[in-house]
Amino acid sequence: MKKLLLLLAVAAVGFTACKKDEETTPSKTDLIAKAWKAVDVKIGGLTIPITLLGNPVLTVAKTGTYTEISFGDTATGTWAFYSNETKLILDGGTPDADTLNIVNLTASELKLSGDLDGDPAEITYNPN
């Protein structure tokens, strides 16, 4: 009987030790919440040098706020996902509200597209 209990105990430890850790997929909020530096900007199909835009850095917080620094100036506001997390609204409910399409959001890239004064615009960020 003692050998049977010992065998069951060893087997239980073996099964527990072999159990794979479950990998969790990060939420879109987890993915977007970080500092992002602009690496590519296209407006109307033309690539705009990042230096001409002041090397923008966008910092997104899980709390629903953001900070953008460009040319040493700081702008702050709020952000939210929209349309099944396929769009990003900046400063929703204000006259400065912008709705951007999320083209790609991974741990290593944030790509947004939208309209800038009637021209299509796309900006790509990498983690800062």
The mean per-residue pLDDT over the stretch 8-36 comes to: 72
How far apart CA 128 and CA 116 sit, in angstroms, is 24
Classify the phi-psi angles of 85: left when phi > 0, otherwise alpha if psi is within -120 to 50, otherwise beta: left
Domains (range + CATH), the chain? 24-127 (2.40.128.540)
User: So what's the pLDDT on residue 46?
Assistant: 96
Secondary structure class of 36 (helix, strand, coil): strand
53-107 confidence digits (pLDDT tens): 999 999 999 999 999 999 999 999 999 999 999 999 999 999 999 999 999 999 9
pLDDT at 19 over 70: no
φ, ψ of residue 32 to 5 degrees: the values are: -80, -20
The mean per-residue pLDDT over the stretch 16-20 comes to: 51
CB burial of 47-75 (b: ≥16 within 10 Å; e: otherwise) equals eeebeeeeebbbbbeeeeebebbeeeeee
The mean per-residue pLDDT over the stretch 100-115 comes to: 98
Looking at the chain, how many residues does it have?
128
25-66 confidence digits (pLDDT tens): 999 999 999 999 999 999 999 999 999 999 999 999 999 999
Angstrom distances, CA of residue 110 to CA of 11, 61, 79, 93? 47, 14, 14, 23
